[in-house]
């Protein structure tokens, strides 16, 4: 059973081919990072244009690398939200065209169900139920995954997503875009105890997050040091910011797994590529008898293999879309619960 996945929600144009839902034959990712770097962030209109220019070539390359033709494809999965509307529409138009032309079933996929599914690819033996920690550019959520298509959102961010906080703090530090990987790298040379940024845990027992305060905290710290004429150690600031954010995330994720009696914790989303997060969770999971799962970095950030995998399980669960499938730029995570 051959699934083709298409992802175009942000600044990666990606097409993948998967065998039996988990075996990656190809996962071609065309990143626009270089294009948007000069602007310090993703410019939606430019992203759409580049998706349009790239998608056919990326699809052809994915089919070639997999050594298959479109006629052999049994299912097409495509990200239908959330994301940039113009960007999503390019992937959708392409998916619908192939589905219509070749009479192949089509499944619209929630981008975050894709991120979680990246773990099924990395770990062929992994099966729900488990607890998932979703940490990406637009999301920070703790999700109880009851089944392949059964989710319960326990908590989420009330303001900025964690990846967004990394990117904004990186910009303030003048590290450029995308900031997450750069903070990760710089923090390795810094002292995480140097600056006591506030850890925001919110109400007791809450699985919600808030990261907008720490962004302001970093800005205020930099300004006050500048005013006092003191030189700032960038690596210390990066390490302290990262530690403050990760202390909260790790604590809440492990608490959720323990409270809900889950012995598996699954990491998902771009920030899951963070080396310190992996390290901290590894230690805490070991101490608490929890098995930790985290995809390889290339499967953490946006890619079509994870979308194909999610589509496969939706299809097996009896779900199919039709050609009226649309883009849902603000598709909420709670849509997964329905």
Q: Which residues bind Mg ion (CB under 5 A)?
A: 10-11, 302
Identity of the residue, 184 or 302, whose beta carbon is nearer to Fe ion in the bound complex: 302
Identity of the residue, 136 or 242, whose beta carbon is nearer to Fe ion in the bound complex: 136
CA distance 220 to 223: 5
Identity of the residue, 324 or 330, whose beta carbon is nearer to ligand ATP in the bound complex: 330
Residue 136 marked in a binding site? yes
Residue 180 marked in a binding site? yes
Residue 167 marked in a binding site? yes
Contact flags string 135-174 toward ligand ATP, x per CB under 6 A:
-xxxx-----------------------x--xx-------
Provide the minimum distance between the beta carbon of 334 and ligand ATP in the complex, in angstroms, as a whole number: 15
Residue 21 marked in a binding site? no
Segment contacting ligand ATP by CB under 6 A, of 63-71, 143-151, 175-183, 199-207: 175-183
Looking only at the bridges linking them, the beta strands covering 140-147 and 75-81 are unpaired
Interaction between residue 285 and ligand ATP (CB under 6 A): no
Interaction between residue 136 and Fe ion (CB under 5 A): yes
Identity of the residue, 10 or 253, whose beta carbon is nearer to Mg ion in the bound complex: 10
144, interface contact from Mg ion, Fe ion, ligand ATP, none, CB < 5-8 Å by kind: none
Contact flags string 93-132 toward Fe ion, x per CB under 5 A:
----------------------------------------
Q: Which one of residues 36, 51, 96, 111 is an interface residue with ligand ATP (CB under 6 A)?
A: 111
User: Which residues of this chain interact with Fe ion, rule CB under 5 A?
Assistant: 136, 302
Q: Which residues are annotated as a binding site for Fe cation?
A: 111, 115, 302
């Amino acid at each position: 059973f051959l699934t083709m996945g298409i992802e175009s929600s942000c600044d990666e144009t990606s097409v993948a081919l998967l065998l039996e839902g988990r075996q990656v034959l190809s996962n071609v990712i065309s990143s626009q990072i270089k294009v948007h770097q000069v602007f310090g962030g993703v410019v939606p209109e430019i992203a759409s244009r580049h998706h349009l220019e790239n998608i056919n070539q990326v699809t052809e390359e994915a089919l070639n690398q997999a050594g298959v033709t479109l006629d052999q494809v049994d299912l097409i999965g495509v990200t239908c939200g959330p994301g940039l509307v113009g960007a999503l529409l390019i992937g959708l138009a392409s998916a619908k065209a192939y589905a219509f032309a070749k009479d192949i079933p089509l499944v619209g996929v929630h981008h975050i169900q894709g991120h979680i599914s990246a773990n099924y690819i990395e770990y062929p033996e992994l099966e729900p139920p488990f607890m998932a920690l979703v940490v990406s550019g637009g999301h920070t959520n703790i999700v109880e995954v009851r089944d392949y298509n059964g989710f319960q959102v326990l908590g989420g961010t009330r303001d900025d997503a964690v990846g967004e906080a990394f990117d904004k703090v990186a910009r303030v530090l003048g590290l450029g875009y995308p900031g997450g990987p750069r903070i990760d790298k710089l923090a390795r040379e810094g002292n995480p105890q140097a600056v006591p940024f506030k850890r925001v845990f919110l109400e007791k027992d809450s699985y919600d997050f808030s990261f907008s305060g720490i962004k302001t905290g970093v800005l205020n710290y930099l300004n006050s040091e500048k005013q006092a004429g003191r030189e700032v150690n960038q690596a210390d600031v990066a390490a302290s910011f990262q530690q403050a954010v990760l202390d909260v995330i790790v604590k809440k994720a492990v608490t959720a797994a323990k409270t809900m009696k889950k012995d598996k914790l699954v990491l998902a989303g771009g920030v899951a590529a963070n080396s310190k997060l992996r390290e901290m969770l590894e230690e805490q999971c070991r101490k608490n008898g929890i098995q930790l799962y985290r995809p390889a970095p290339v499967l953490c950030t946006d890619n079509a293999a994870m979308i194909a995998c999610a589509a496969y399980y939706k299809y097996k669960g009896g779900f199919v879309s039709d050609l009226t499938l649309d883009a849902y730029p603000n598709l909420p995570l709670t849509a997964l619960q329905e």
